[in-house]
């Protein structure tokens, strides 16, 4: 019954609608960005279906890949972090945590229900965003084979070619893999939320910490730190877009992210089970 209660509350909240609206807005901005960039590059003579850097390889799948790449790193973690903040700190701040704890329900069960629901939400949001990006790419540009070159996304050090069917299959694989990657910031936000009673502080700290770690993991100065940061492994889903997937690297990153997630959620549960509710 607690799971049903939490589901109903989430669905009736504005959070999912707000997240979807923001992601749609982000995709619209990306589309606009591509279009204006193309206009600049072609001196205003733009045929949107075959523009951007190179008309030979840009299509709806490339657009979806670019949109997901940036959205995954910068937009989705914000909503995921907010989810952690809402579930523990938000509930505490609103006083409803006491309402739940005043029922014969163990803290461990309450925590695991909330975490499971947040994980499901994060997975749905990741999949929804990916599907939306593919849909917008199909409608606005049109699909085709995926060609990746060394460049902006640092996805490949050489030219990679995936035909459309294979690329779509790989996009499908990306969903669970990217969802797993998103569990680490989600569990981090639960951890901070178990300590900070203000939801604003919990969300702000989660987002700030994620961004700091993300930036550190992207800067070459901190190369020695990278293996110790969960953000270094988060973009491992890009491996799935290679012609030959390095499964060992995928498994290592997945294991690392799962480890971080278990650590964060374990610490969060330990804190939640022993904290007072004044």
Partner 1 sequence: MISAKGLGHRFGERKALDGIDFELGAGEIAALVGPNGSGKTTFLSCAAGFLRPSSGELRVGGFEPWRDRRRVMERARFAFAPPALFEGLTAREHLRYLGNISRKGRPRLRAGEIEEALERVGLSERADERVGAFSFGMRQRLALAQALTPRPELLVLDEPTDGLDPLAVLELRKILVRLREEFGLAVLLSSHLLIEVDLLVDHLLVLNEGRCLFKGQPHELSKGNRVTRLRASDTERAASVLLAAGWSTVPAGNGELQLAGTAHDLEQVRTKLNAAGIRLDGYWEQSLSFEQALLERLKAARRNSSCEADSSISVTMTAGPIAKDLEA
- Binding footprint of partner 1 on the chain (CB under 8 A): 1-2, 4-5, 8-9, 12-13, 94-96, 98-107, 109, 276-278
In eight-state DSSP terms, residue 71 is: I
Question: Residue for token digits 């491992």?
Answer: 236
Strand partners, 147: 161
Q: CA of 13: how far to CAs of 9, 19, 214, in Å?
A: 6, 11, 29
Nearer Cβ to partner 1, position 21 or 99?
99
Minimum distance between the CB of residue 85 and partner 1, rounded to whole angstroms? Answer: 17
Q: 178-197 as b/e, with b when 16 or more CB fall inside 10 Å?
A: bbbbbbbbbbbbbbbbbbbb
Minimum distance between the CB of residue 98 and partner 1, rounded to whole angstroms? Answer: 6
Nearer Cβ to partner 1, position 44 or 278?
278
Phi-psi label, residue 95: left if phi above 0, alpha if psi -120 to 50, beta otherwise: left
* Crossing angle (nearest 10°) for helices 76-84 and 107-140: 160
Nearer Cβ to partner 1, position 94 or 270?
94
Minimum distance between the CB of residue 18 and partner 1, rounded to whole angstroms? Answer: 14
Minimum distance between the CB of residue 207 and partner 1, rounded to whole angstroms? Answer: 24
Nearer Cβ to partner 1, position 5 or 74?
5
Q: Measuring CA to CA, which residue among 247, 209, 251, 211 is closest to residue 233?
A: 251
Minimum distance between the CB of residue 212 and partner 1, rounded to whole angstroms? Answer: 31
Minimum distance between the CB of residue 277 and partner 1, rounded to whole angstroms? Answer: 4
Nearer Cβ to partner 1, position 29 or 94?
94
DSSP per-residue codes, 190-208: HHHHHH---HHHHHHHHHH
Nearer Cβ to partner 1, position 108 or 245?
108
Nearer Cβ to partner 1, position 11 or 219?
11
**Which H helix or E strand runs over 162?**
strand 160-162
Minimum distance between the CB of residue 89 and partner 1, rounded to whole angstroms? Answer: 14
Nearer Cβ to partner 1, position 13 or 54?
13
Minimum distance between the CB of residue 179 and partner 1, rounded to whole angstroms? Answer: 26
- DSSP alpha helices (H): ranges in 71-198? 76-84, 91-94, 96-101, 107-140, 164-195
Separation between Cα atoms, residue 121 and residue 222, nearest integer Å: 33
Query: Integer distance in angstroms from the first to the last C-alpha of the chain?
Result: 26
């Amino acid at each position: 019954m607690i799971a049903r209660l939490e589901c109903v509350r989430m669905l009736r909240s504005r959070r999912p609608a707000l997240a979807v609206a923001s992601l749609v807005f982000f995709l619209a901005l990306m589309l606009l960005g591509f279009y204006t960039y193309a206009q600049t590059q072609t001196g205003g003579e733009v045929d949107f279906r075959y523009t951007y850097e190179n008309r030979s390889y840009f299509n709806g799948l490339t657009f979806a890949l670019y949109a997901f790449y940036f959205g995954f790193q910068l937009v989705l973690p914000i909503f995921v972090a907010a989810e952690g903040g809402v579930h523990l700190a938000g509930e505490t701040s609103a006083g409803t945590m006491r309402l739940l704890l005043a029922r014969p329900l163990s803290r461990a069960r309450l925590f695991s229900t909330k975490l499971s629901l947040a994980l499901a939400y994060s997975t749905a949001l990741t999949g929804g965003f990916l599907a939306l990006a593919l849909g917008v790419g199909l409608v606005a540009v049109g699909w085709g084979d995926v060609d990746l070159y060394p460049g902006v996304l640092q996805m490949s050090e050489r030219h990679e070619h995936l035909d459309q069917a294979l690329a779509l299959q790989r996009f499908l694989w990306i969903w669970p893999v990217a969802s797993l990657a998103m569990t680490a910031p989600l569990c981090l936000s639960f951890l901070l939320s178990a300590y900070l009673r203000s939801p604003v502080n919990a969300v702000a700290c989660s987002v700030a910490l994620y961004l700091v770690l993300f930036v550190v993991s992207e800067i070459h100065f901190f190369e020695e730190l990278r293996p110790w940061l969960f953000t270094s492994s988060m973009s491992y889903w890009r491996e799935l877009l290679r012609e030959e997937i390095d499964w060992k690297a995928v498994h290592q990153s997945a294991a690392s992210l799962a480890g971080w997630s278990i650590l964060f959620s374990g610490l969060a549960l330990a804190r939640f089970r022993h904290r007072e509710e004044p």
